[in-house]
Amino acid sequence: MVKAKIIFVTGGVLSSLGKGLSSASIGALMESRGLKISLQKLDPYINVDPGTMNPFQHGEVFVTDDGAETDLDLGHYERFTNSVLGKKNNFTTGQIYDSVISKERQGEYLGKTVQVIPHITDEIKRHILAITKGVDIAIIEIGGTVGDIESLPFLEAIRQFKFDIGKENVLYIHLTLVPFLPTAGEVKTKPTQHSVKSLQEIGIQPDILLCRTDRILPPEVKLKIALFCNVDKDAVITARDVESVYEVPVVFHQEGLDDKIVELLNIWTRAPRLEKWEELNQKIKALKHKVTIAIVGKYVSLTDAYKSLNEALIHGGISNCSNVELVYVDSEKIEDKGADSFLSAIDGILVPGGFGERGIAGKIEAICYAREKKIPFLGICLGMQLAVVEFAKNVCGLKDANSSEFAADTPYPVINLLPGQKGIADKGGTMRLGAYPCVLKKGSKAAAIYGKQNISERHRHRFEFNNAYKDILAGHGLILSGMSPDGELVEIIEVKDHPWFFGCQFHPEFKSRPITPHPMFREFIRASLENRGN
């Protein structure tokens, strides 16, 4: 017996309309009414392991506490809600086929013909139901756009839910586009009509339409959409463009979205409490300072590759009343032209996580620049590893020090695989993934930043600080201020005699939320503002 109600979110007309943010905002609104929620993203591609997908094409890999490498939409879900998500909150077509095929291999289908309907669709439904336990509302986002061949099994599965659990327990919300045509001087509803028609053809009648547009839709346009798409007048919601994504929950509420959802699902809730969101938006509108942060990396042409990082920096800005201007610097260009030509007018320098050798020398140059010129620096994962390499080379005199990821034969492998990891050829399963505890050194700057000694942060890497170099690095002023509880793994480094120089082996950006910014980003922005002289 399924107790939760389920909201399915589909998208039409074109991609990138903000389905992930809309789903996250619906989650925020439901939580603001005191409901317990969960969220899930269904990805239509065939990859079984989204962790191996190229961030250039696909954007960031978001890592959960339980070590799942997931779609970046899960980052939106966590940032907008109180949910802590995991493996079961994201699945791909590839994973569904993989489990159906392995069941078939084990003879579970007893010689039956294995088909898309019912075997694939049943497997999809089983995965959806897995997140409905213990919550009032499960919000399920279907990736892709209605009309894609790939999404069809997902849509068929969600269509069946109305029959399986009853129509008062299921809601279909469709996000569509209502463009303004300057030559006609009006907004156009045809793309929405067509998109809804495609949904209806597969048996899904949307209950609510979120109409992405650049202006408030006038009542007559809403009426026309309602009439042609067969939805209630007050179920046509204007999803207008906003300056900050964090305005979306409040804007949706003003349009009556949450009222309509609880009415259609027939649930009684308390009135929504959106004070925290309103306060956040007031803060965003009142930002008075400005700080410029350089992100020195490889995927600089696609900022979605650093989605959580960008958001965490914005959160850090909000807690310091500051706008944050992000300047993406391609580290290979630093190799050609030198750090000074890109970094001289920058207030803080960040080297993010990454894989592969390309651009490494440029990142090391940027780190050296930050250390010598006393510019606030934050190195994340690969950024921390390279900060250790830079320190070993330029401060400890270990010329040719490197990470063994980039130079297997380096005389000084200051970053290395752990002994047990060596020789593992299959790169698929060797990473340290997910949440690990870390103990901060008493009296260190790190402990002051976090305001406590025991923390937990998320990881995604193979290589580690090589303990054989602990003494020489520490002897030259590298502070190892965060360690695994058994003292074996270095998690945070600081540089002595520098106003603000940190490296962390984990990814703090995955745990930052707009309402509760991560302390590491809050303090990095604060230090960068001080450096600017604000």
Smallest gap from residue 432 Cβ to ligand GLN (A): 8
Report the side by side order of strands in the sheet with 236-240: 90-92, 37-43, 137-142, 5-11, 170-177, 208-213, 236-240
For residues 413 and 468, give the distance between their C-alpha atoms in angstroms, rounded to a whole number: 9
Should residue 463 be labelled a site residue for ligand GLN when binding is judged by CB under 6 A? yes
Instruction: Note if 507 is an active site residue.
Output: yes
Annotated active-site residue in 119, 174, 498, 507? 507
Sole window of 152-160, 164-172, 174-182, 455-463 interacting with ligand GLN (rule: CB under 6 A): 455-463
Residue 526 Cβ vs ligand GLN, minimum distance, rounded to whole Å: 24
Residue 418 near ligand GLN by CB under 6 A? no
Q: Which of 461, 498, 511, 522 binds ligand GLN (CB under 6 A)?
A: 461
Residue 134, Cβ neighbours under 10 Å: how many?
9
Torsion sign over Cα 455, 460, 466, 472: negative
Q: Of 10-18, 458-466, 474-482, 513-521, which segment contacts ligand GLN by CB under 6 A?
A: 458-466
HEC letters along 44-107:
CCCCCCHHHCCHHHHCCCEECCCCCEECCHHHHHHHHCCCCCCHHHEEEHHHHHHHHHHHHHCC
Phi, psi of 415, deg, nearest 5: -120, 130
* Selected range binding ligand GLN among 95-103, 223-231, 249-257, 349-357, rule: CB under 6 A: 349-357
Q: Which residues pair with 438 in a beta bridge?
A: 455
- Burial class of residue 439 in the structure, from the number of CB atoms within 10 Å of its CB (0-12 exposed, 13-18 middle, 19+ buried): middle
| Smallest separation, CB 58 to ligand GLN (Å) | 15
In contact, 8 and 144? CB cutoff 8 Å: no
Q: How far is CA 377 from CA 143, 237, 348, 453, in A?
A: 37, 44, 6, 22
What's the rounded Cα separation, in Å, for the pair 100 and 121?
Answer: 10
Output 246 or 524, the one with its CB closest to ligand GLN.
524
Q: Which is nearer to ligand GLN, 328 or 355 (CB)?
A: 355
Q: Which residues of 105-132 are buried (b: 16+ CB within 10 A; e: fewer)?
A: eeeeeeeeeeeeeebbbebbbebbbebb
d(CA 327, CA 349): 10
Q: Is 355 in the site for ligand GLN (CB under 6 A)?
A: yes
How many residues bind ligand GLN (CB under 6 A)? The answer is 10
Q: Which CB sits closer to ligand GLN, 99 or 421? A: 421
Is 278 catalytic? The answer is no
Q: What is the largest CA-CA distance in the chain?
A: 75
Q: Least distance in Å: CB of 505 to ligand GLN?
A: 8
How are beta strands 5-11 and 412-416 bridged, if at all? unpaired
Considering the complex, state which of residue 354 and residue 434 has its C-beta at the smaller distance from ligand GLN: 354
Residue 50, token pair as written in the block: 């989204």
Minimum distance from CB of 70 to ligand GLN (Å)?
Answer: 15
Residue 382, C-beta contacts closer than 8 angstroms, at least 6 positions apart? 351, 352, 353, 354, 355, 363, 461
Q: Which of 296, 381, 455, 480 binds ligand GLN (CB under 6 A)?
A: 381
- Complex with ligand GLN: residue 382 or 387, whichever CB lies closer: 382
Give the range of 135-143, 285-293, 295-303, 353-361 binding ligand GLN by CB under 6 A: 353-361
Helix, strand, coil tally for the chain in percent (to 5): 40, 20, 35
The reply to whether 69 sits near ligand GLN by the rule CB under 6 A is: no
Closer to ligand GLN by CB, 280 or 438: give it. Answer: 438
Contact residue for ligand GLN among 58, 88, 462, 532 (CB under 6 A)? 462
Of 5 and 511, nearer to ligand GLN (C-beta) is 511
Q: Is 150 a catalytic residue?
A: no
Minimum distance between the CB of residue 433 and ligand GLN, rounded to whole angstroms? 10
What's the min distance (Å) between Cβ of 30 and ligand GLN? 33
CB 65 to ligand GLN: min, Å: 16
Q: Which one, of 270, 203, 215, 202, lies nearest residue 241 by Cα?
A: 215
Q: Report the residue from 225, 382, 438, 449 that binds ligand GLN according to the rule CB under 6 A.
A: 382
Given 43, 73, 405, 457, the residue binding ligand GLN (CB under 6 A): 405
CA 96 to chain centre: 23
Give 326's contacts (C-beta < 8 A, 6+ positions apart): 293, 295, 303, 310, 313
Taking CB under 6 A as the binding criterion, the range among 421-429, 447-455, 461-469, 522-530 that sits at the site for ligand GLN is 461-469
Which of 365-392 are b and which e, b meaning 16 or more Cβ less than 10 Å from the residue's Cβ?
A: bbbbbbbebebbbbbbbbbbbbbbbbbb
Instruction: State which residue, 202 or 407, has the beta carbon closest to ligand GLN.
Output: 407
* 523 touches ligand GLN by CB under 6 A: no
Using the rule CB under 6 A, is 460 a contact of ligand GLN? yes
CB of 369 or CB of 510, closer to ligand GLN:
510
Unique residue bearing structure tokens 């997908």: 53
Answer yes or no: are the C-beta atoms of 138 and 37 closer than 8 Å.
Answer: yes
With binding defined as CB under 6 A, does residue 311 bind ligand GLN? no
Which one of 59, 354, 359, 376 is in contact with ligand GLN (CB under 6 A)? Answer: 354
Spot the catalytic one: 459, 509, 518, 523. 509
Residues noted as catalytic: 381, 507, 509
Q: Which residues bind ligand GLN (CB under 6 A)?
A: 353-355, 381-382, 405, 460-463
